[in-house]
Amino acid sequence: MYARFEAEIEQLNERVLERAGERPTAGLLMTHSGVGPITALATDVFLGDPKRFRDGTLASYIGIIPRENSSGGRQRLGGLTKQGHPLLRFLWCEAAAHAVRRDPELRQFYRRKLVQKGLGKARVAAARKLGIRLWIMLRDQIDYQEFCRRGQMQQRSGAACAGMPGPR
């Protein structure tokens, strides 16, 4: 019985890899460390046209930002809103766990959040950062190497931000 399930799982993995290979944007996303064919395909399919999101709205759409209940000049932040697609949120969290091992900048961000906020919030923060990176790669149709090159150029110029390069 175990061998039969293994064979079925292998067939499904091959089909997902085949489908991801058919979509050029999923291929771009797979160049990021930690992002495999399932995460790339799900991100490409569920986000659709990346130009419909502004910088901050993507995390809200996925439901990976804190709930806010503010009144009278006092800001109260709660747990995650979880209003987006639960599978994509899960896949980004899993991919971020792998990406922090291989990407030095993401690892540094994760460790800083780990000290500041704790394990659970650090994982979600890394997943949110990974998701925004994937969105930028989709929006600009670039691979991971080009994404890193642009980030280094912005850091040297002092204009580093998550959005489009250029004047703020």
Longest CA pairwise span in the chain (Å): 62
Q: How far is CA 48 from CA 13, 109, 127, in A?
A: 22, 28, 19
Query: pLDDT digit of tens for each residue in the chain (168 aa)?
Result: 889 999 999 999 999 999 998 999 999 999 999 999 999 999 999 998 888 887 668 888 888 887 778 888 887 777 777 778 899 999 999 999 999 999 999 999 999 999 999 999 999 999 999 999 999 999 999 999 999 888 888 777 766 555 444 444
**Which pLDDT score is estimated for 1?**
87
Cα torsion 105, 36, 58, 81 to 10°: value is -100
**Which pLDDT score is estimated for 168?**
45
**Which pLDDT score is estimated for 162?**
52
Report field, pTM of the whole predicted structure over 0.75: yes
**Which pLDDT score is estimated for 161?**
56
**Which pLDDT score is estimated for 32?**
95
- Name residue 8's amino acid: E
C-alpha angle 136-162-130 in degrees, rounded to nearest 5? 60
**Which pLDDT score is estimated for 155?**
73
